[in-house]
Amino acid sequence: MTIVQNPRLTGLACLRCDRRYEIADHTTGCPACLAEGAPANLECVYRPDGADRPAGRVEQPYLRPVTLGEGGTPLLTDLAGVVPGIDVALKWEGANPTGSHKDRFSAAVVTRAAHAGYEGVVAASSGNAGVSLAAYCGRAGLRCEVAVTDDTPARVVELMRDLGADVVSFPRSEQRWEHTARYRDSTLMLPVTNFVVPPVGSSPFGIEGYKLVAEEILADRGGSAPEWVVVPASRGDLAWGVHLGFRELLGADAVPRLCLVEPFPRVAAVLAGADQWATFPGDTRVMPSLGGNLLAAQSVEAVRRSRGHAEPVDDESVRAETRRLWRTGFPLEPSSAAGLVAVSRALAAGRINPDADVVVLATAHGLKGM
């Protein structure tokens, strides 16, 4: 397998302080910001002379990525009644090879790991990321180690193992990060998900894969940006990647507004004045993909820089919405159905207008959790 690095990729930059770094796996984000107690992720930087890049396409760090056919997911429109009172479009990420948006991240980050000469990757996962990374590592001939919690559904753990991953399980969520952190300086196994407290987020090479969501939405709409993009979020990898994609194609002043969906106020609390490095109380049984009591700077920045908004949604509403959606032919996992609950709530509160042009990222298929 020949992997070619994009000749226009020049390095990485910190999203907070804009310091520049060489092309490498800085697994704890920007060292300078980490030392200041304000961890922040890096982003890939490309030479601006993209003349040989087709119009409407985002840059990617590698030109021949490891792929299982991810992306190109349908943008479903004419969905009258899916959210009563507003006509939304659904970007159906459950159509990806392992049933979630994580396949975009996995394709990009496993390509990076293979190109950089690692034997494998290590990740902490609540389910979708582990299944996805296992599949892409299998394709690339790399090892995959996934750290999960003991309450991860047995079927999901079985899927990871069937796909060739080594799965290690811990009683508490933070023990997954402690496990991943042991590989922070490894030259054999690349940690690709966050293990820093406070969090920085996942590998910037993987996050580049999410820029393609923005590219596809614009392409499907003839280049016209929606007003709002609704994104379920935990530590904001997807939201930040989608924002980067729109910024690259439209410019910083013309990006769509992001509505981050969260199971209890985190970004919403920061927008209301809370310290972003605080611990945010709250729990969710229904949306494990969106859990966690700490925020990454990239989540807050994705909202601030897009003049966006954060919408907390509760377990009970999401459980009811998931049941309703399944009966109308949309087998979304609850963490995805949460996006539609968020639209209903924002509509009822007047934060989104009934005539607004809204795309909801339906992040994952619900069949895996059965």
d(CA 280, CA 283): 10
Q: Tell me whether residue 21 or residue 170 sits nearer to Zn ion (CB atom).
A: 21
Q: How far is the CB of 245 from Zn ion (least distance, A)?
A: 22
Q: Compute the least distance from the CB of residue 327 to Zn ion, in Å.
A: 47
Shorter beta-carbon distance to Zn ion: residue 7 or 11: 11
Using the contact rule CB under 5 A, the part of the chain among 37-45, 149-157, 208-216, 220-228 near Zn ion is 37-45
Instruction: Name which of 33 and 233 has its Cβ closer to Zn ion.
Output: 33
d(CA 312, CA 95): 26
Q: What is the edge-to-edge ordering of all strands in the sheet holding 75-76? A: 75-76, 88-92, 358-362, 228-232, 257-262, 309-312
Comparing CB distances to Zn ion, the nearer of 30 and 213 is 30
Q: Does 86 bind Zn ion (CB under 5 A)?
A: no
Considering only the stretches 8-16, 59-67, 99-107, 302-310, report the one whose residues sit in contact with Zn ion under the rule CB under 5 A. Answer: 8-16
Quick one: which of 9, 30, 89, 213 contacts Zn ion (CB under 5 A)? Answer: 30
- As measured in angstroms, the least distance from the Cβ of 192 to Zn ion is 20
**Contact call for residues 85 and 358 (beta carbons, < 8 A):** no
* Beta-bridge mates of residue 123: 146
Name the minimum Å distance from CB 105 to Zn ion: 22
Residue placing its CB nearer to Zn ion in the complex, 302 or 342? 302
In angstroms, give the least distance from the CB of 17 to Zn ion.
3
For residues 170 and 31, give the distance between their C-alpha atoms in angstroms, rounded to a whole number: 29
Segment contacting Zn ion by CB under 5 A, of 31-39, 106-114, 283-291, 321-329: 31-39
Q: Which of 9, 12, 25, 33 binds Zn ion (CB under 5 A)?
A: 33
Query: What DSSP assignment string belongs to 162-189?
Result: HTT-EEEEESSHHHHHHHHHTTTT-SSE
Helix H, strand E, coil C: the string for 279-322 is: CCCCCCCCCHHHCCCCCCHHHHHHHHHCCCEEEECCHHHHHHHH
- Contact flags string 9-28 toward Zn ion, x per CB under 5 A: -----x-xx-----------
Minimum Å distance from CB 19 to Zn ion? 5
- Here the tokens at position 101 are 């948006």
Q: Write the single-letter amino acid at 28.
A: T
What CA–CA distance (Å, rounded) separates 190 from 193?
9
User: Measured between alpha carbons, how far is 142 from 165 in angstroms, rounded to an integer?
Assistant: 10
DSSP bridge pairs for 168: 147
Q: How far is the CB of 29 from Zn ion (least distance, A)?
A: 7
Question: 16 or 211: whose CB is closer to Zn ion?
Answer: 16
Q: Which is nearer to Zn ion, 215 or 301 (CB)?
A: 301
Distance between CA atoms of 370 and 326, rounded to whole angstroms? 12
Question: Do 162 and 153 contact (CB within 8 A), yes or no?
Answer: no
β-pairing, 120-124 with 189-191?
parallel
Minimum CB distance to Zn ion, residue 33 (Å): 3
Q: How far is the CB of 232 from Zn ion (least distance, A)?
A: 27
Q: What SS3 state is found at 124?
A: strand
What is the total count of residues that contact Zn ion (CB under 5 A)? 7
Contacting Zn ion within 39-78 (CB under 5 A): 40
Map residues 331-360 to x or -, x wherever contact with Zn ion holds by CB under 5 A. Answer: ------------------------------
The residues binding Zn ion (CB under 5 A) are 14, 16-17, 30, 32-33, 40
